[in-house]
Chain A
Amino acid sequence: MVTATEYGYNSKIEGDVVVSRADAVINWIRSHSVWPMPMGLACCAIELMAAGGSRFDISRFGMEVMRFSPRQSDCMIVAGTVTYKMAPAVRRIYDQMAEPKWVVAMGACASTGGMYRSYAVLQGVDRIVPVDVYVSGCPPRPEALLDAMITLQNKIRRERSTARLISSNR
């Protein structure tokens, strides 16, 4: 009596297989290996460091690999006050990051200029780079940053990555 067909899937040879959509797989991988580019410019960077420490432990989300090289990072976390003098440097580093890339504006300063209503401070980093998630607070608690990163993960999961891979025009 034949119990398994010769033509079907043979798990003894091929191993276990899960069938899914390409988008789901790509996004699953991307959302769990978001390597941050820590653009720590002021006091918010201290909270960013706390988020990297063992107490808040950003590595639970696959994000502990803070990369100071824009070539190796996926998500720029702008943590701090962006002065006009610094703004071109922030944009150039963003330009040097490889696609796909995201930006989190951490804290009041990066989001809006914060309390620095001043001649020297860029009034929101979204004037020079496209921001995906804004975090309120001055400074935001590390939990707030983690919440933002989870929001970013959810956002990444909804992306149409295959279409983006295939078409050059996105």
Chain B
Amino acid sequence: MSDELLTTLMERRTFLSARPSADHPAVNCPASHLVAFLRDLRDAEGFEMLLDVTAVDWAESRRPRFTCVYHLFDLERSRYLRVASDCHEDANPTMPSVAGLWATADWHERETYDMFGIRFEGHPDLRRILMWDGYPYYPLRKDFPLAGEETDLPGADVAEHTDARVSAAPMAGGPFVSGTSGGPMSEREPRAKDESWTENAPKPKKPDPTKESS
């Protein structure tokens, strides 16, 4: 059924290309056709519901670096469809907003903007939604460390009289994960990946593999 859907979709739309997918049918759509294509899907193909808008940061070195992903659902025939669209620019990624098609896209796009820094053009009110206004980073980008970066506490008055700052969290060799081998996950205690250092004992330098140990 999924092949059938893809063939019908791609028959008349040469700009689409099939996208490898482990579950639901998926297509790539260039950003310039995105809004028109999604409107078509909603009005003509029965994909009335937008389930999620998110993005992928492939890594700083990859081109294109950011891809926006839209998950659609057909309520009548219980079909899913995933539409992916690459952002043209890597330094200041943008994407046309679909908040005009689905009201739910408003907050989804705000979240994607908050976490990845992708600006949705035509969005009615593109503000951060999880982090506070004025936070200078985009936390789900690949170059952002899990522990965070030092910056000012929101609320200047509070920051002033408590002297508190947003600082990198102590990781102590973390993140804490249960390993991938050795019995079921329920029996594996989560451990720091690298317990050789703490905040007081600095992280040991990795031996350089290019140099021979004598």
Contacts and interface: CB of A to CB of B under 8 A. Distances in A.
- A interface majority secondary structure: loop
B174 A117 contact: yes
Interface stretch (A81-89, A96-104, A138-146, A162-170): A81-89
A123 B164 contact: no
Contacts of B100: none
A120 B155 contact: no
A87 B164 contact: yes
B128 to A, nearest CB: 10
A91 interface: yes
Contacts of A87: 153-155, 158, 164
Contacts of A88: 153-155, 157-159
Contacts of A129: 162
Contacts of A127: 162, 164
B154 A119 contact: no
B146 A117 contact: yes
A123 B199 CA distance: 14
A91 B163 CA distance: 12
A127 B137 CA distance: 22
Contact of B164 (A85, A118, A128): A128
Contacts of B149: 119
Given A123-B167, A123-B170, A118 B154 contact: no
B115 to A, nearest CB: 11
Contacts of B153: 84, 87-88
29 contacts: A84-B153, A84-B166, A85-B130, A85-B131, A85-B154, A87-B153, A88-B157, A91-B155, A116-B169, A117-B146, A117-B147, A117-B169, A117-B172, A117-B176, A119-B137, A119-B139, A119-B145, A119-B147, A119-B149, A119-B168, A120-B139, A120-B148, A121-B169, A122-B164, A123-B167, A127-B162, A127-B164, A128-B162, A129-B162
Given A89-B155, A117-B174, 10 more contacts: A85-B154, A88-B153, A91-B158, A118-B148, A119-B144, A119-B146, A120-B131, A120-B148, A122-B164, A123-B170
Which 7 pairs, one residue from A and one from B, show the smallest C-beta to C-beta distance? Answer: A119-B148, A88-B155, A88-B158, A117-B169, A91-B158, A85-B132, A127-B164
